[in-house]
Structure 1
Amino acid sequence: MGRKRIVDRDAVLDAAEAVVARDGAARLTLDAVAEQAGIGKATVLYDFKTKAALIDAVVQRAVDRDNAFNRAMTQSLGPRQDAVIQGRILAAAAPLPDDFRAVALNLCAALAQDAGLRGRIQENQRTVIADLTANAASPRGALLAYLALEGLKLLEALDYHAWPDDERARILREINWLATTAPDGDAPLPSPTAT
């Protein structure tokens, strides 16, 4: 009979997030995670054989948590058309917590350098977009609202811009309005004037 496992996998992932927030994903080491968690490196290696596997697990957990939170917000609205996009708008009512912003920012750098990690995010985005457009009264409006919402969240996550609370709330209300509009796709693109 083997030894009983006493270190929780989530505790190791919590420690990895702390190291990513502090040092960046590129500087994450299994030794640093073990030290942060107060455990031996062998314990980290038990679940995560490599640094890449550990970062992949951190990304997957972040995606899973985000999806679960968005599903909960969607379900809180009850069965209705546009629930998926409106649930995502509701979920975005509060910006990313400060303690996760540094993790998100540093994970973006890891995603930019790893096609496998990007593939995980790309697949998740395909699923989200398919779900929100399938549930929408105006699929194009829902898609445009999603793009606006993700732009808002990305600017905040990358620490490029933060809006005052009242302006942020107004933007979210306007994104919600956009979700239910039927845009005219025949409007011409702007063109430069000849000088």
Structure 2
Amino acid sequence: MGRKKSIDQNRILNAAEAVVARVGATRLTLEGVAQEAGISKGSVVYDYGTKQALIEAMVQRAVIRDNAFNEAAAEPFAASDNATLKGRISAASQPFPDAFRAVALNICAALAQDHSLRSAIQKNQTAVIDRIREEAGTARGPMLAYLALEGLKLLETLDYHQWSDSERAALLDDIRQLASGSPG
């Protein structure tokens, strides 16, 4: 019989995120994660094997969390047109926490260098875009609104620009308007 799992996966992934936020994904080590989690390096190796596998698990967990957050935000709009997009706009009304930005920025750097890491994000974006297209039918406004929304979020996540609360609220209102219309 193999060893029983006694280390919580979230504990390891939380520790990995803390290390990435502090030193970046390129300087992430299994030893550093183990130390942050207060466990042995062997436990991290047993669960993930490699630094690459650990980063892949972090990306996958981020995708799952983001989808769950956005799906919960879409629930109030389930009976209306463009529920997926409306939920994503609603979810975006809550700016990303500063702690998330540091992790996201460093993970984005890792994603830029590794196609296999990007594939989880690419598949997820394809699924979201397909759902928005399906819900929008022939209207172009919802897709343009989604692109504007993702641009806003990307600029903030990568720390390229931060809007004031009032500017951000006005931009989200503009995106809502775009989502409801059909330009050109």
State TM-score, norm by structure 2. 0.96
1:112 pairs with 2:112: yes
Q: Which residue type is aligned with residue 110 of structure 2?
A: A
Q: In 2, distance between residues paired with 1:173 and 1:18?
A: 34
Runs of 4+ off more than 6 Å: none
Identity %: 59
- Uncovered stretches (5+) of structure 2, i.e. residues with no partner: none
User: What aligned pairs does 1:1-195 form with structure 2 within 5 A after superposition?
Assistant: 1-136=1-136, 139-184=139-184
The DSSP-based 3-state class of the residue aligned with 2:140 is helix
Q: In 2, distance between residues paired with 1:117 and 1:139?
A: 32
Shift of 1:78: 3.0
Q: Which of the pair is proportionally richer in helix? A: 2
The DSSP-based 3-state class of the residue aligned with 2:120 is helix
Give the greater-gyration-radius structure (CA): 1
Q: In 1, distance between residues paired with 2:142 and 2:77?
A: 16
Give the total of aligned pairs: 184
- Given that 1:138 and 1:179 are in contact with CA atoms closer than 8 Å, whether structure 2 keeps it comes out as no
The DSSP-based 3-state class of the residue aligned with 2:18 is helix
- Uncovered stretches (5+) of structure 1, i.e. residues with no partner: 185-195
Q: Which residue type is aligned with residue 21 of structure 2?
A: A
Q: Which residue type is aligned with residue 97 of structure 1?
A: P
